[in-house]
């Protein structure tokens, strides 16, 4: 659990709500967690990863992989073949991220019916 007292730090910095919000925004984008989940099954080449993830463009996959690599979650290995191939894999940090991500996915699966029911009830009252 996050110590909410860190949010009271006016200077921000590591551990502050600003840093936490920045990292959650980065990881909570449309593609990052799907890429992490796909690589959790083992290393994949770029086009294999693209097929696993689904409706992602080549440009978006490339830019998201760069961000994940920069954050230390994904490693990129060039394989000396003709033509050269690039393989992506989770780092130790990326594998650690899979634990809370899998719990979040499980929670979502279990609670989707309740969420949909709450939305329907809200919409009927608002509508």
Instruction: Quote the pTM value.
Output: 0.76
pLDDT in tens, 20-73: 888 888 888 889 989 999 999 899 999 999 999 989 999 999 999 999 999 999
pLDDT in tens, 6-23: 565 545 455 578 888 888
What's the whole-number mean pLDDT along residues 101-113? 90
pLDDT confidence of residue 39: 95
pLDDT confidence of residue 77: 97
Q: Which 3-state string (H, E, C) describes 42-83?
A: CCEEHHHHHHHHCCCCHHHHHHHHHHHHHCCCEEEEEECCCC
What's the whole-number mean pLDDT along residues 103-107? 88
Q: What is the fold of 31-126?
A: Arc Repressor Mutant, subunit A (1.10.10)
Question: What residues does each domain of the chain span?
Answer: 1-29, 31-126
Which residue matches tokens 């551990």? 15
pLDDT confidence of residue 93: 96
């Amino acid at each position: 659990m996050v110590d909410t007292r860190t949010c009271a730090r006016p200077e921000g910095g590591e551990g502050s709500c600003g840093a936490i919000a920045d990292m959650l925004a980065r990881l909570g984008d449309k593609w990052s967690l799907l890429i992490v989940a796909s690589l959790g099954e083992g290393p994949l080449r770029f086009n294999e990863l693209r097929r696993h993830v689904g409706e992602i463009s080549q440009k978006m996959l490339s830019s998201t992989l760069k961000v994940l690599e920069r954050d230390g979650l994904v490693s990129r290995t060039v394989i000396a073949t003709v033509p050269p191939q690039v393989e992506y894999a989770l780092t130790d940090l990326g594998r650690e991220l899979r634990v809370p991500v899998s719990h979040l996915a499980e929670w979502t699966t279990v609670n989707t019916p309740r969420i949909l029911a709450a939305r329907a009830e809200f919409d009927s009252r608002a509508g």
